[in-house]
Amino acid sequence: MRPEDESPPEGRPHAGPPGLDELLSRVARGDRGAFEQVYALVSAPVYGVVLRVVRDRAQSEEVTQEALVEVWRAAARYDRERGSAMAWVMTIAHRRAIDRVRSAQAGADRESRAARMDVHRPFDEVAESVAARLEQERLRRCLTGLTDLQRESVTFAYYGGYSYREVAELLKVPLATVKTRMRDGLIRLRDCLGVER
């Protein structure tokens, strides 16, 4: 049975802002006006996630620029069968951010980043839009439902940009445990958020 055949759970939020799919297909045809609308929809999430990983504002703007230019360049390669348009954009942004820190940062530097991270308060920026605030609130509630190890494994990896090996080292737990906690933590989060599959 395909997931589309199931009735959606109540109150399920949409997977991305409406119309991003359609806008991307116009961008793929070289439509700059459509790209401006894409920019309006995704620039804050993209910059936000890059900033979480990279930390430095100037570098984060550079990485955001790289990621959004990549969205322009590769728009024709977006395949809606493989996931939502927002997830596609966020994947590009997150990968770019991780590439930046993995190539640039030495161990000591990364540990100081770890020290600055507070996994119990994963959002240190106050969201500016109502929608983002609601999203934060929902996510905060769902993160509370994870075990400490699940939450730390997921947030160190995603917001910290750490590999699972690094997370295992930081948290002093076996590799297999971290892998498992990343997976079951994300699964619990997915179910709590009612993410479309």
Among 21, 111, 169, 184, binds another protein (CB under 8 A): 184
User: Per CB under 8 A, does 43 bind another protein?
Assistant: yes
CB of residue 193 vs another protein: minimum separation in angstroms?
6
Does residue 9 sit in helix, strand or coil?
A: coil
Would you say how long the chain is, in residues?
197
The single residue among 146, 154, 170, 171 that binds another protein, judged by CB under 8 A, is 154
Task: Give min distance, CB of 112 to another protein, in A.
Answer: 19
Q: Does 183 sit near another protein (CB under 8 A)? A: yes
Tell me: does residue 22 bind another protein (CB under 8 A).
no
Q: Does 114 bind another protein (CB under 8 A)?
A: no
Binding residue (CB under 8 A) for another protein from 15, 114, 149, 173: 15
- Closer residue to another protein, CB minimum distance, 23 or 68: 68
Q: Hey, how many other C-beta atoms are within 10 angstroms of the C-beta on 153?
A: 30
Residue with smaller CB distance to another protein, 53 or 108: 53
Contact residue for another protein among 23, 117, 157, 170 (CB under 8 A): 157
Backbone CA torsion sign across 147, 112, 63, 95: negative
- At its nearest, how many Å lie between another protein and the CB of residue 135? 5
Structure tokens that stand for 60 in this block: 């984060």
Nearest distance from C-beta of residue 82 to another protein, angstroms: 6
Amino acid type, 50: V
Contact partners, residue 38, CB within 8 Å, separation at least 6? 20, 23, 24, 27, 71, 89
For residues 71 to 100, the per-residue mask of contacts with another protein, x marking binding by CB under 8 A and - elsewhere, is -xxxxxx-x-xxxx-xx--xx-xxx--x--
Handedness of CA 116, 120, 123, 126 (dihedral sign): negative
**How far, in Å, are 93, 94, 131, 174, 190 from residue 48 at the CA level?**
10, 10, 14, 31, 20
Q: Given candidates 37, 59, 105, 163, which one binds another protein under the rule CB under 8 A? A: 163
Q: What sign has the CA pseudo-torsion 171, 174, 179, 180?
A: negative
Name the strand (E) or helix (H) holding 51: helix 32-54
Q: How far is the CB of 113 from another protein (least distance, A)?
A: 15
